[in-house]
Amino acid sequence: MRIRKTVNVQMCLVLACLAAFSLIAVRTAGTPAEADVAIVVNPDNPVNNLTLAELRQIYLGERQYWKASSPVVVLMRSSGSKEREVILRVVFQMTEQRYTQYWVAKVMRAEASDPPASLFSHGIVQEGVRGNPGAIGYVYMNDVRSGVKVLRIGGLLPGEPGYPLR
């Protein structure tokens, strides 16, 4: 009888441990780092940190050159992607329709010769960043591959408290 009781207690302990483990696993899987949008540039780009205002200037086409006078090549994800929604909401502060109108106006004003390239997948964005020293793009943190550099935004990396692109 006593042995049975001990087994039951042990079973309960195992179940409790399993429950705790699975809770931790679920929490770990949903860490903010993976849900954050990382800004990636070519590893040869000396820039390591941008403020959100600077990032906005770059994406709005108001700042078109890196400090070394090399042109910025802005890469966007094509419409419908979740990362693009984050960038439109936080950086552009625009709807999809307004974004289209903004770039038509920008080109018409001779402030840019064409709108940013819209690319179908995070893989293509990262290939573009790897292949172009002036390129800047964005991907979810858990999609970041080697060969690109993740920038700090306002001194923060994806996953850190207060990171703005989520």
Partner 1 sequence: MHRVWGVLAVFVLLPLSALAQGAARDEREQEMQEMRARIEKLEKLVTELQKEKETNNGVATAPAAGDQLQAAATPISHEEHAVGPAMPMDHSASQGGATNLVERKFPDLHWRGFADVDFSALDEKNTKSGFNLGQFILHISSPLSEKVSVFTETSFTAQAGPQATAYNLDVERLIIRYDYNDFFKLSFGRYHTPISYWNVAFHHGTWLQTTIARPEMIRFGGRFQPVHFLGMLAEGNIPSGSLGLGYNAGLGNGRAGNIARPGDSGDVNSNRAWVASVFSRPAALNGLQVGGGIYGDLISPVPELTGNPQFRELITSAHIVYTKETPEFLAEFAHVRHRNAFTQTEFNSDAAYVQVAYRLPGEASKWKPYYRFEWSNINPNDPLFSVATQPAPMVDDLTGSTVGVRYDITSLAAFKAEYRHTARKATEPVINGFFLQTCFTF
Kindly list the residues in this chain that would bind partner 1 in the complex (CB under 8 A).
33-34, 38, 43-46, 48-49, 53, 56-57, 62-65, 69, 71, 73, 75, 78, 80-81, 93, 95-98, 100-101, 104-105, 107-110, 113-114, 117, 119-128, 130-132, 135, 141-150, 152, 157-159
Of residues 2 and 29, the one with the C-beta less far from partner 1: 29
Of residues 8 and 31, the one with the C-beta less far from partner 1: 31
Distance (Å, rounded) from C-alpha 44 to C-alpha 88?
A: 27
Amino acid at 153: I
As measured in angstroms, the least distance from the Cβ of 103 to partner 1 is 11
As measured in angstroms, the least distance from the Cβ of 26 to partner 1 is 16
As measured in angstroms, the least distance from the Cβ of 25 to partner 1 is 14
Element spanning 41, H or E: strand 37-41
Cβ atoms of residues 141 and 158 within 8 Å? yes
Of residues 2 and 80, the one with the C-beta less far from partner 1: 80
Cβ atoms of residues 129 and 118 within 8 Å? no
As measured in angstroms, the least distance from the Cβ of 131 to partner 1 is 3
As measured in angstroms, the least distance from the Cβ of 116 to partner 1 is 9
Cβ atoms of residues 58 and 51 within 8 Å? no
Cβ atoms of residues 39 and 165 within 8 Å? yes
Pairing of strands 135-140, 149-150: unpaired
Pairing of strands 37-41, 135-140: antiparallel
Of residues 8 and 93, the one with the C-beta less far from partner 1: 93
